[in-house]
């Protein structure tokens, strides 16, 4: 549901709304050429032959412009009709992409005013991997929050001493690697897989395997941001893992579920919001 926005300042005066920013890369004058006429350019057409669906491709195009700074927090996106024209896609494709951007906290819609950028990833994200698949990565993260939260709950209730040791060893290997700048998606996967295995239900691992590619892609982007980010960011990741492990060790199922879902939710937010760097 769209949020209603008045556009008024605290002093009661109407605040002028920003004009919509073009999603093409040729909408602004180059630096040092103030007043130079802007050139209109059509955005690159989306590839209907790709495996990645059109909604995700469009999401990736807009995400790319937000991450690169072509669109900044507070900037207004073009209307649905204008985006259709710029990318040569139908309105349902545009709506799908905008809904996902809103769900991921990157944009906010205000009734009668339009859609505005609300959060921005760390600029270095673009140098760390292909951001075109971010939409799929974040959808997989939603599945993980439901699935792995319950797997952690069952692991706390059912784990054996041998399985607990495997979780402890995986956590230690991940934390040691992170402390020495050797972040590894494989080490992170080993920690999460050991918990799913300790749930005593093979279906958890089987379902996670079906989205393995998206999970691994998410982890690589997220962990590379952590490796190149602040020390506090890395410490938060280690602390979140430690909270999950402590709950499983103490066989507190509900606390393990909450700790896992909190960790996966925070990882999701850290990917799309540079303020959490």
Q: Is residue 246 part of a domain?
A: yes
Give residue 1's pLDDT band: very low, low, confident or very high (50, 70, 90). Answer: very low
CATH of the domain at 198: 1.20.120.530
* Residue in 253, 189, 255, 256 with CA at minimum distance from that of residue 222: 189
Residues in the chain: 277
Considering only residues 57 and 20, tell me which one the structure prediction assigns the higher pLDDT: 57
Query: If you compute the radius of gyration of the chain from its CA atoms, what whole number of angstroms results?
Result: 21
> Which domain covers residue 141, as residue numbers?
124-272
pLDDT digits (tens, 9 = 90+) for 80-120: 999 999 999 999 999 999 999 999 889 999 998 999 999 99
CATH of the domain at 100: 1.10.10.10
The helix (H) or strand (E) run that includes residue 102 is helix 91-103
- Contact between 274 and 105 under an 8 Å Cβ cutoff? The reply is no
Sole residue written with tokens 């991921």: 104
Residue-averaged pLDDT of the chain: 84
Instruction: Give me the phi and psi of 181, to 5 degrees please.
Output: 75, 15
Q: Are residues 116 and 148 in the same domain?
A: no
C-alpha to C-alpha distance for 25 and 64, rounded to whole angstroms: 11
Tell me: pLDDT of 2 over 50: no
The encoded tokens of residue 41 equal: 């350019």
Confidence at residue 225, expressed as pLDDT on a 0 to 100 scale = 86
Q: Is residue 255 part of a domain?
A: yes
Confidence at residue 136, expressed as pLDDT on a 0 to 100 scale = 86
Confidence at residue 235, expressed as pLDDT on a 0 to 100 scale = 92
Last residue of a domain, one of 70, 99, 120: 120
Q: Are residues 69 and 138 in the same domain?
A: no
- Contact between 56 and 135 under an 8 Å Cβ cutoff? The reply is yes
Q: Are residues 171 and 251 in the same domain?
A: yes
What is the DSSP annotation of 230-247? -HHHHHHHHHHHHHHHHH
Tell me: pLDDT of 11 over 50: no
Q: Is residue 228 part of a domain?
A: yes
Confidence at residue 167, expressed as pLDDT on a 0 to 100 scale = 98
Q: Are residues 264 and 129 in the same domain?
A: yes
Tell me: pLDDT of 39 over 90: no
Tell me: pLDDT of 8 over 80: no
Q: Are residues 90 and 156 in the same domain?
A: no
- CA 185, 272, 146, 178 torsion: positive or negative? positive
pLDDT digits (tens, 9 = 90+) for 146-160: 999 999 999 999 999
Tell me: pLDDT of 131 over 80: no
Q: Are residues 70 and 193 in the same domain?
A: no
How far the first Cα of the chain sits from its last, in Å, is 29
Share of the chain above pLDDT 90, in %: 56
Burial of 93 (0-12, 13-18, 19+ CB in 10 A): buried
Q: Is residue 240 part of a domain?
A: yes
- Contact between 22 and 78 under an 8 Å Cβ cutoff? The reply is yes
Last residue of a domain, one of 120, 136, 155: 120
- Residues 250-277 have a mean pLDDT of 92
pLDDT digits (tens, 9 = 90+) for 162-174: 999 999 999 999 9
Q: Is residue 139 part of a domain?
A: yes
Confidence at residue 277, expressed as pLDDT on a 0 to 100 scale = 62
pLDDT digits (tens, 9 = 90+) for 195-251: 999 999 999 999 999 999 999 999 988 888 888 888 888 999 999 999 999 999 999
Tell me: pLDDT of 124 over 90: no
Q: Is residue 67 part of a domain?
A: yes
Q: Is residue 144 part of a domain?
A: yes
Report the number of distinct structural domains present in the chain: 2
Instruction: Give me the phi and psi of 274, to 5 degrees please.
Output: -65, -20
Q: Are residues 101 and 129 in the same domain?
A: no
Tell me: pLDDT of 10 over 50: no
Last residue of a domain, one of 105, 120, 135: 120
């Amino acid at each position: 549901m769209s949020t209603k926005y008045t556009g008024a300042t605290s002093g009661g005066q109407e605040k002028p709304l920003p004009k919509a920013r073009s999603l093409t890369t040729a909408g602004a004058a180059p630096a040092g050429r103030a007043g130079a006429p802007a050139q209109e350019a059509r955005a690159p057409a989306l590839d209907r032959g790709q495996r990645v669906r059109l909604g995700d491709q469009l999401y990736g195009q807009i995400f790319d412009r937000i991450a690169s700074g072509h669109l900044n927090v507070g900037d207004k996106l073009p209307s649905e009709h204008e985006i259709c024209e710029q990318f040569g896609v139908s309105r349902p494709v545009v709506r799908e992409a905008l809904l996902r951007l809103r769900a991921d906290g990157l944009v906010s819609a205000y009734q009668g005013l339009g859609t505005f950028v609300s959060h921005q990833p760390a600029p270095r994200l673009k140098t760390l991997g292909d951001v075109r698949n971010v939409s799929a990565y974040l959808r997989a993260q939603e599945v993980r929050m439901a699935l792995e939260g319950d797997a952690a709950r069952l692991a706390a209730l059912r784990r054996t001493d041998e399985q607990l040791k495997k979780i402890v060893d995986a956590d230690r290997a991940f934390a040691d690697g992170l402390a020495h700048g050797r972040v590894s998606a494989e080490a992170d996967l080993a920690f999460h897989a050991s918990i799913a295995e300790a749930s005593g239900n093979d279906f958890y691992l089987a379902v996670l395997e079906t989205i393995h590619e998206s999970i691994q892609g998410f982890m690589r982007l997220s962990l590379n941001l952590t490796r190149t980010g602040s020390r506090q960011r890395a410490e938060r990741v280690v602390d979140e893992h430690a909270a999950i492990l402590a709950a499983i060790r103490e066989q507190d199922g509900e606390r393990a579920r909450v700790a896992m879902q909190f960790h996966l939710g925070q990882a999701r937010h850290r990917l799309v919001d540079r303020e959490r760097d």
